[in-house]
Amino acid sequence: MSMNVTSGYARPLECHELDDRFQAEQRLATFADTDDLVALDTLCLQARQLVAEQPIGSPATLCKEIIRDLTICLGGILLRYIRADWAIGIELLGEGEYSHGAWILLFNAGGNYRSLNLEEYVGRRFFKDTNTTFAELVEGVVVMAKQVPDLYIGGYGATAESG
């Protein structure tokens, strides 16, 4: 669940870069309930078929846009459980070569950071390169967060005993 960002860098998203965050939900709402992990996951797995049915637009561009929107909606659900900030992660590929920016969540744990390259995961799920569902990912992140001091904020599966 954590990613080492030392091979590249991560920087917080600026306000103008967050426009997609507010638009993603509206764009996907016609296809799925953006608050429903199962519906979002199903859309992720079926989105390539939707792209293939579009008469206009580049399939590669449409796929990238859907992956970005799914990333934002899934991240929005994660943010209900764990305090995190959106950032752009850039990985070093080779001498002077860097990856395209990918949306990641940076979790602040008492001055230390854990990160989750959420866009990379959604891309893998989109192309069926992972069997981990959205719900399983959220559960795994929450389990990890509970084990890191000062990271877990609460709200997910909370009981009277856990405070």
For residues 58-87, average pLDDT = 93
What domains are defined for the chain?
11-147 (1.20.120)
For residues 121-127, average pLDDT = 96
The predicted structure's pLDDT at residue 40: 97
pTM of the model: 0.85
Q: Which residue has the higher pLDDT, 99 or 88?
A: 88
For residues 137-156, average pLDDT = 84
Write out the chain in H/E/C secondary structure. Answer: CCCCCCCEEEEECCHHHHHHHHHHHHHHCCCCCCCCHHHHHHHHHHHHHHHHCCCCCCHHHHHHHHHHHHHHHHHHHHCCCECEEEEEEEEEEECCEECCCEEEEEEEECCEEEEECHHHHHHHHHCCCCCCCHHHHHHHHHHHHHHCCCCECCCCCCCCCCC
Average pLDDT in the chain: 85
